[in-house]
Structures are given as structure tokens and as C-alpha cells.
């Protein structure tokens, strides 16, 4: 694979030593630096188009000051999509502002153009893919560039061209010191020389949207595991499996029901989630992230959590305490919550990422649509860190849930664990659902940007309802389409949980079907559909419910036998066969 090419705009003001430093840093990555004077927009445009015809190209402002770690992240390997380096800012520089939503740049500024409701500041790097759309946008900008009478930094001009053409441009978050300012550059360089690049690489490896407990507690320990993993060459998938094994051992201790072993299991649960945090850190640090690794990480999280629930209930039963009803309720709740979470974020991303094509000659963009006064106020409050973290805790992410499991196990009370998780989970679902409904009310988008394909791939329709989606129909283009998969799972899993609450063996049915819905979700988010052949073998939502209804009424075979046979069948089909098929598909695509 050819080395990426980088055009450095040396026409901007700045010391020669600083420009030499930047050139050296980029060359250290193996990228090919193309020295150019980009002061003439037309000649610069022609050169950029010429270079793009043979591969992706980055344009960099020579005033950029950052460490080698950030430069490596930008240029070590070629890129396949367009992106810019930008930092979130409450008061962006008007000449370098951008508005970003769902990681996509919706509007960008130059010395001549203005952004309404800016959220970020551009740091002087734009990476361009060499797609036909990018080349067309650049070629079509020639007449505008010929009319320019004011100097505009070329990197900002290129960013403006591709963004206003409607081409997708994503944001790369900076790590460590990243500056584009001309003032006091010597002081900035001095600070940069003291920067620990290893620390910056770890900073980039840590997720930016974790929960409160994960961010301020778990990640402190996971970095230790990550350092050990990097020294010993452990792969992210190895670490994911290690976390799964540790969680299974913790579950085995939980299943005994003995107080001392519950306490040991509590410690192992925290170890399991610390190790689980590390797999993503290693993947991001080494740049070996993969679709297979992401799916494996997410899928095993669901397996670990639900197996722990079952083990705790089994341990409680040894003390003549029946907690299976609440376990079933928790499985339903968590599945509904997660599907609602992922689908809303994905659909909102598709809708928020809609970019209006704006003429280059237009000074101000088209403006930002309001999500309603209540949601606008909520978004404004989120900029206050205490409010942001309070909301993250209310959301009850996995770190907080597993902390509750450990605390309850230390107390020797599975009942405390389940009632706390169920109560807080219901409150969290109600809180986020209200906000999402209020936000969705204002959505008005065409089918092409409605995100309907994301949710329609998850319907899991059996033979009786498949006709709804025939002939290319798209019934879920409405503003609340994101909620349909979650509501469908609420109906299916909820009815099974209620009708089978007296049968602990129903856990396996619920567990396998819930995993199937997660699997379908993750495939959909990556643009894939669950194989129709396997959907038919799984009977679809209505087929499975029909079997439960008939057996509960005494038809076919007794309900208990159906749950035993069906649970075994669905575990083999959805967790065994379907997972094997998906892993093979991902491996063949890589």
C-alpha cells in the first residue's frame, strides 16, 4: 500500500524552524511530504487534484504544533474517508470554526465564511479521500476560487469546499497539545518538548464517552492491564476472551450462594470489567481495531451480564429464595434499554449528519435547526461538567451496573442487586426515553436520511409479517421509527417472561433470544442483515410467540418441555450457528 501524501501549506506565516519540525514529524510516519507554495488558490487546487488522482492526500497548515503521537495517529497509514482535526470549543475562533454533530462536520468557516452555532475549532489538518465525489467537489470549486479577492488559508478553503458539497467529513479528536495559533509559538514548543508522547497515546486509547465510574475508577486500573498487554503482545480479542473467562469464574462463585464465595465473585467482577476496558484501549493504541473485535466485545458483555444474573439467582435458590421472576424482568429491561440506546443514537446520527449543499459564495451557512426549547436548554446544560456527569450516572452504564453487582455480592444479597438494578434501570429508561421522544418530535427528514434502514434490518420478521417489507417498502421512516425494535422486543420478551415466570428453565429461551436481538442490532449497525435462512429457522418474532402461546394453552407439548427444547435449540442456533456464520463473514471481509 502506497504511503499517504501530505501537502504542507508553507505560504502561511510562521518560523522556518517550526515548519521544519512539522515536516520531520510527518516524515517520521512514513508519509510522503509534498513541499508546495499554496498561496495561489488555483495552482494549489490543480496540484491537489493531481495528487488525489493517485491516492488520498492530506493538507496541513504549517503552523500546526503537536506531538509525534498525534502526528502518528493522523498519518501512519492511509485513510479511506475524509476527515479534519478539530477540537471542541465553547468559543471557537470565528475564522476557524466548525459545527459538528454525530462526529460529522456540518459547516466550516474560513476568513471569509461564518458558521452558525459553532461547536469546534479547526486545527489545520484536512484528510481527503480520493473518491469521485471529492474530486468532483474540488473541480467544481474552480470558478469560485478564481473570483476570490481575499486571502484564505488553503486548508480551511479545502475543508469548506468538501463540507459544503455535501461530502461526508468526520472529526478526529486531538490528544495532547495541539495548537495552530501564531502567538507565543516558542513557549508552545517548549511545552511540547516536555510532553510525554506515551501518555498522549494512552489518552487517545481511552474512550471519550465512558460512564462516571469507568472514567474515574476503572480506567485507572485498566491502563495497568493495557501496559502489560502491550509488553506481552496480547491481542484485543485475547483480552476480551480473558474477561469472559473471569466473569464465568465469578458466576461460578455466585452460583454457590455462599457468602465468602460471593465476596470473591464480587472482586472478580471488577477484575473482569477492568480487563474488558483494556481490550478497547489496546485496540485503539495499536490501531488494530476490527469489526470482529467490536462485535466480540459487545456480544460477550451481554453474555457475561446475563450469566451473572442467572448464577446469582441460582445461588439464592440454595437459600430457598426465588428471584427468577426479577431476573427475567431484568433481561427484558436491559435488552429494551440497549436496543433503544443504540438505535436512537444511530438514527439520530443519520439524521443529524444530513448536510445541506451550500454555495461557496454564500457567506453564512443555512443555520442550525432547533430541537425544541427544552432540548436546546438540555444541550446547553450538558456543557457544564457536573451536569454532564450527573446525567451519565442516571443513565446507569455498564460500569455502574457491575458496581452494584459487586456491592450486593459483598453484602451477600442477590435480592439487593436485582431490585436496585431493576429500580434504577426503569428510572434510567424513563429518563432517556422522555428526552428522546421530545427530541424526535422535531425531526423532519427525507427517507434517504431517516435511518430507517438501520431499524428495518432488525425487525426479525417471520413468514407472517415478512410481506410488510416486500417490494422495497420502508414502513419505519417516521420520526419514532428508532423505537420500534425496542418495543417489539418488549412485547416478545415481556410476554415470555410473564407467561413463563414459574419456570426457571425459561432463562435459556430468554437468554438466547435476547442475544439474537443484540446480534441482529450489531450487524445492522455495521450495514449487514441477519441471514434470512437463519431467521426462518428461528421462526421470527411471531413464530416464537405462537409456539409459547399454544404450549401455554396445552397444545403441542407442555410449556416446560417447550422451554427446555426451545431454549436448547435457540442457544445452538442463535449463539452457536449464527455467531459462527457472522465470524466467518467478518473474517472473509477483512
Active site residues: 301
Run of H or E including 335: helix 324-352
By DSSP bridging, strand 120-128 and strand 169-172 are unpaired
Three-state DSSP at 59 gives strand
Nearest CA to 107 out of 348, 368, 287 is that of 368
Dist. CA 177–CA 541, nearest whole Å:
52
Which cell numbers hold the place of 95?
A: 475564522
Angle value at C-alpha 340, between 272 and 388, nearest 5 degrees: 70
Name the CA dihedral angle for 305, 311, 312, 316, rounded to a multiple of 10 degrees: 160
Three-state DSSP at 125 gives strand
CB 218 within 8 A of CB 110: no
Nearest CA to 157 out of 110, 113, 217 is that of 110
Dist. CA 547–CA 9, nearest whole Å:
68
Q: Taking phi first (over 0 means left), then psi (-120 to 50 degrees means alpha), and beta for anything else, what does residue 118 get?
A: beta
CB 305 within 8 A of CB 510: no
End-to-end CA distance of the chain: 15
Burial group, residue 154, by CB count within 10 angstroms (0-12, 13-18, 19+) = buried
CB 375 within 8 A of CB 443: no
Q: What is the CA radius of gyration of the chain?
A: 27
Dist. CA 403–CA 424, nearest whole Å:
13
Angle between helices 559-570 and 506-525 (to 10 degrees): 40
**Locus of grid cell 454532564:** 388
CB 525 within 8 A of CB 342: yes
Run of H or E including 99: strand 97-101
CB 181 within 8 A of CB 61: no
CB 56 within 8 A of CB 78: yes
CB 483 within 8 A of CB 267: no
CB 49 within 8 A of CB 180: no
Dist. CA 144–CA 360, nearest whole Å:
7
Which cell numbers hold the place of 501?
A: 415466570
Run of H or E including 82: strand 82-88
Nearest CA to 204 out of 321, 94, 67, 83 is that of 67
Amino acid at each position: 500500500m502506497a504511503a499517504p501524501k501530505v501537502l504542507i501549506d508553507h505560504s502561511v506565516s510562521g518560523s522556518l524552524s517550526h515548519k521544519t519540525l512539522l515536516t520531520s514529524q510527518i516524515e517520521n510516519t512514513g508519509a510522503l511530504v509534498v513541499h508546495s507554495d499554496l498561496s495561489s488558490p488555483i495552482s494549489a487546487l490543480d496540484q491537489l487534484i493531481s495528487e488525489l488522482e493517485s491516492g488520498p492526500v492530506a493538507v496541513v497548515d504549517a503552523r500546526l504544533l503537536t506531538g509525534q503521537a498525534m502526528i502518528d495517529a493522523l498519518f501512519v497509514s492511509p485513510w479511506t474517508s475524509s476527515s479534519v482535526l478539530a477540537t471542541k470549543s465553547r468559543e471557537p475562533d470565528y475564522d476557524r470554526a466548525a459545527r459538528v454533530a454525530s462526529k460529522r462536520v456540518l459547516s466550516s468557516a474560513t476568513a471569509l465564511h461564518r458558521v452558525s452555532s459553532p461547536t469546534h475549532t479547526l486545527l489545520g489538518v484536512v484528510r481527503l479521500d480520493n473518491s469521485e465525489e471529492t474530486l468532483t467537489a474540488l473541480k467544481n470549486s474552480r470558478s469560485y476560487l478564481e473570483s476570490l479577492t481575499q486571502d484564505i488559508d488553503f486548508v480551511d478553503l479545502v475543508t469548506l469546499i468538501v463540507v459544503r458539497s455535501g461530502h461526508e467529513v468526520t472529526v478526529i479528536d486531538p490528544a495532547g497539545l495541539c495548537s495552530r495559533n501564531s502567538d507565543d509559538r516558542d513557549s508552545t514548543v517548549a511545552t511540547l518538548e516536555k510532553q510525554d508522547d506515551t501518555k498522549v497515546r494512552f489518552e487517545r486509547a481511552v474512550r471519550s464517552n465512558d460512564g462516571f465510574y469507568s472514567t474515574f475508577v476503572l480506567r485507572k486500573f485498566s491502563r495497568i492491564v493495557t501496559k502489560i498487554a502491550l509488553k506481552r503482545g496480547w491481542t484485543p480479542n485475547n483480552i476480551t476472551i480473558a474477561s469472559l473467562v473471569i466473569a464465568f469464574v465469578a458466576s461460578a462463585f455466585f452460583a454457590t450462594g455462599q457468602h465468602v464465595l460471593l465476596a470473591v465473585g464480587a472482586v472478580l467482577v471488577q477484575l473482569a470489567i477492568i480487563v474488558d476496558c483494556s481490550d478497547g484501549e489496546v485496540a485503539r493504541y495499536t490501531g488494530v481495531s476490527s469489526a470482529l473485535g467490536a462485535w466480540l466485545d459487545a456480544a460477550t458483555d451481554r453474555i457475561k451480564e446475563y450469566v451473572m444474573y442467572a448464577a446469582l439467582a441460582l445461588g439464592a435458590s440454595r437459600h430457598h429464595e426465588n428471584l427468577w421472576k426479577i431476573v427475567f424482568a431484568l433481561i427484558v429491561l436491559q435488552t429494551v434499554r440497549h436496543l433503544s440506546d443504540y438505535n436512537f443514537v444511530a438514527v439520530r446520527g443519520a439524521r443529524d449528519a444530513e448536510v445541506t449543499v451550500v454555495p461557496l459564495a454564500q457567506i453564512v451557512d443555512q443555520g442550525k435547526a432547533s430541537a425544541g426549547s427544552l432540548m436546546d436548554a438540555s444541550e446547553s446544560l450538558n456543557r457544564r461538567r457536573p451536569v454532564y456527569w450527573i446525567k451519565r450516572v442516571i443513565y446507569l452504564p455498564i460500569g455502574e451496573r457491575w458496581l452494584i453487582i459487586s456491592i450486593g455480592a459483598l453484602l451477600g444479597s442477590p435480592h439487593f442487586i436485582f431490585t436496585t438494578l431493576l429500580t434504577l434501570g426503569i428510572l434510567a429508561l424513563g429518563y432517556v426515553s422522555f428526552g428522546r421522544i421530545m427530541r424526535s418530535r422535531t425531526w423532519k427528514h427525507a427517507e434517504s436520511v431517516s435511518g430507517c434502514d438501520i431499524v428495518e434490518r432488525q425487525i426479525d420478521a417471520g413468514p407472517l409479517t415478512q410481506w410488510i417489507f416486500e417490494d422495497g417498502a420502508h414502513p419505519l421512516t417516521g420520526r419514532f421509527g428508532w423505537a420500534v425494535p425496542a418495543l417489539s422486543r418488549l412485547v416478545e420478551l415481556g410476554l415470555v417472561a410473564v407467561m413463563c415466570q414459574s419456570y426457571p428453565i425459561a432463562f435459556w429461551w430468554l437468554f438466547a433470544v435476547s442475544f439474537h436481538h443484540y446480534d441482529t442490532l450489531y450487524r445492522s449497525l455495521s450495514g449487514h442483515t441477519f441471514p434470512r435462512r437463519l431467521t426462518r429457522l428461528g421462526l421470527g418474532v411471531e413464530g416464537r410467540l405462537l409456539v409459547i402461546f399454544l404450549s401455554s394453552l396445552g397444545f403441542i407439548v407442555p410449556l416446560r418441555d417447550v422451554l427446555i427444547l426451545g431454549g436448547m435449540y435457540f442457544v445452538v442456533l442463535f449463539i452457536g450457528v449464527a455467531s459462527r456464520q457472522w465470524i466467518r463473514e467478518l473474517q472473509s471481509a477483512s
